Structure 1
């Protein structure tokens, strides 16, 4: 990665979800530094630091999705923590036959914008309230708060992508609605402050990635459909 590409990743414009955090911390930083009290100046400094953190955390860089058709790309940045055959989320009504699940863990330093891994139609969305365990653990897929999407491909096969809240994350944002059509790599949501994103592939598809591999959302090829 070139220096220019690295800078674009760091200074990318923030996602709209950052606005309330930036407004609150920005106002706190200005007011705190203007008032002539030691405590308010300290709070102003802390607010300024949080403002900078939010700019970095909510960054939303542009991505170049591979033009080749019939690819499944990474739905999120981060690194792969598990690849195993399991039953799809029961709330999506995709049957109980095991399929490949690829789990990507996002630290607070990763870009947290979720991108659609395939081209298709969102045919079901199911929210499940749950715990806030460390998202890198396998049991987080079943126990943590999550938002699951079933995406139907043009040939009728189905893919599932699941947004999972983590130890720090407390809010899952999903812009998708049932019936909406997406192209591969399009943005569909975001998870705040550390999380995990699971991808469930069709039964006849094998992952092309490995545990520990770093993912770039919307760009890294995870499987050929």
Structure 2
């Protein structure tokens, strides 16, 4: 029997929305998947030919691109940041909606005009996306790579601005920041390793079709 297909799913904000979609696609993880105290990373499912791993969102793309997992769920922000040629993203799952935005302190924003920027110093976990965005506008971006706590960077003088994921905007507001520019709208996508899609098409092609159908059936956020 062939090794099971490995489905990589992200910890955090997308996972809760992804579980009903997984169920609609015919995949349910073993009961221990829901145990918040569990440190396990790999789980069986109710399908013998599919196992699941739960990893950090940024790592989902890497596992799938390198073939350690054959299929995964991840935000379009991660896909854009890494731009792996090995990834195929055939389905917008219609969940995990947010945006990548530029934000700065409220006091600075009161007199600032983004159209006049020529150089910016930005704290972000998206240095590639940030540079591409500003280069397209003819702005030089100096990126300070952080993996979290971006919102505190301006207050501590690490960077004047941040580029980060924004959903409700509450975290920005509580840290005295305001959005001044949207870089991209974000949603979760199904990603597949291109080589695996050719060699394991017997499993992956129907799986992609099942996810596409499940995404179409899911109620969309207003």
Structure 1 or 2: larger helix share? 2
Same fold (TM over 0.5): no
TM-score by length of 2: 0.24
TM-score by length of 1: 0.24
